Structure 1
């Protein structure tokens, strides 16, 4: 929780203010025992957050910001990570913690009056410088986010174009498959028709042969029957003739 009583809500403005204050008061964080917690106690008092957040909670908030920055920084060095473009505090934390870019690159110097008594305190000037740097970092972060959005849009456009090309080629392949399938179906139908016609011709030829064979068999049977009848008639006539001869011989001898 960012509050002890559950009412106070920690905002982005508080986060930005914490980053500015932490870097502006770097000298308070000596690394000695309890130095950090005492420094954050000072922060809570200066920002009138007593009773709203604890120094320990503020310290944890800062450590979380720093750890996330380091994690994203490490990922970007080994291959890139899109979270950098979307995490709003990356550019600010990079400017605050990175030693590669001098602070003067981000900070527009505050105009100091010629009168020494008009000059703001050193701490106030440092915070004003950091607020200027913060605005510059936010502007650069917005530019990076805009560029990332443009790159994402370009990737989406190219992906859509590739998808459209794939769909077009798929449609062409589908049309070609349909055409070839229609050709194969036409060939199959033609072959089936040819086979049917061939079967009909063969069936008619078999029927014709069968009819011829039946007619020839009937003719043979008819011829055989006539021949048998003629033979029986000749045999009967021969028997009658022999019988008459025997009868004539008998009558002559009597």
Structure 2
């Protein structure tokens, strides 16, 4: 069997996991599926489809031996370099790890692929013919070629049946992972809503405090306005009193001026009389 490098084995397993739909269990589906994978990897001239199938079966067998060892047998799965790779493949975590290939038609040119050696023909001697030919000193051999197609179909069906539980488990794991992601997203949304509600509560408390401060400022303004009104009334009273006092002073000054004029006129008249007498 062709020996593959670690990188080739990794690509080999990823392509097998990502193209499991090609292994439908129909007649020759496994053969053409493996040929499509080998052609994609450039191994179709180095390995037959039977060798590829056997290679993958050996990998699965080794994985199962390490995954579920017999009771009392201690194993170290990490000692095998492909355990994690096969574990991901069997658990369905490699579904999209490689390109999805197109199925090759059954009438594809088989000369592009390494042909698997046919089983050796076995010679069966026919007793009756042998007896009739003994006279001629020879025994006639009859070639009977074994038809391996039914056996291949049976092995493909068994392979699909063996892989179906793993595929179901992988599908359940994917659904569970999807539910976990949805639950995590819901938890994140709820946490965001809680934070937003807390922010709204803080903003409402701030608004309440600001409202109280506005009420206090309004009361203070009302008190200041009353004080100003009182001072205004006081100043108005003082202004009225001042105006009245000024009016009284003006009247008094007018009276005093009229008395002085009278006195001066009387003095002048006396002086005139004295002058006449002289």
Normalised to the residue count of structure 1, the TM-score between the two structures is: 0.52
Tell me: higher relative CO, structure 1 or 2? Use CA pairs within 8 A at least 6 residues apart. 2
Structure 1 counterpart of 2:158, from 139, 143, 150: 143
Q: Which secondary structure does the structure 2 equivalent of 1:122 belong to?
A: strand
Structure 2 counterpart of 1:103, from 119, 125, 142: 119
* Structure 1 residues 205-248: Cα deviation after superposition (integer angstroms, max 9, x where no partner): 22322332232122112102102202221331343245356547
Partner of 2:216: 201
* Structure 1 residues 152-187: Cα deviation after superposition (integer angstroms, max 9, x where no partner): 323212211111110111111111011001001111
Structure 2 unmatched ranges of 5 or more: 1-26, 44-96, 131-139, 271-278
Q: Is the CA contact (8 Å cut-off) linking 1:75 and 1:81 kept in structure 2?
A: no
Structure 2 counterpart of 1:74, from 15, 36, 39: 39
User: Of Structure 1 and Structure 2, which has the larger fraction of its residues in helix?
Assistant: 1
For the aligned residue pairs, the C-alpha RMSD in angstroms reads: 4.3
Partner of 1:182: 197
How many residue pairs align between the two structures? Answer: 174
Flag the 1:176–1:83 CA change in 2: closer, same or farther, 3 A: same
In the alignment, does 2:165 pair up with 1:167?
Answer: no
For the residues of structure 2 that align with 1:82 and 1:148, how far apart are their CA atoms?
Answer: 19
For the residues of structure 1 that align with 2:158 and 2:42, how far apart are their CA atoms?
Answer: 21
Post-superposition offset of 1:75? 3.0
Flag the 1:141–1:153 CA change in 2: closer, same or farther, 3 A: same
Q: Which secondary structure does the structure 1 equivalent of 2:236 belong to?
A: helix
Flag the 1:186–1:80 CA change in 2: closer, same or farther, 3 A: closer
For the residues of structure 2 that align with 1:151 and 1:88, how far apart are their CA atoms?
Answer: 27
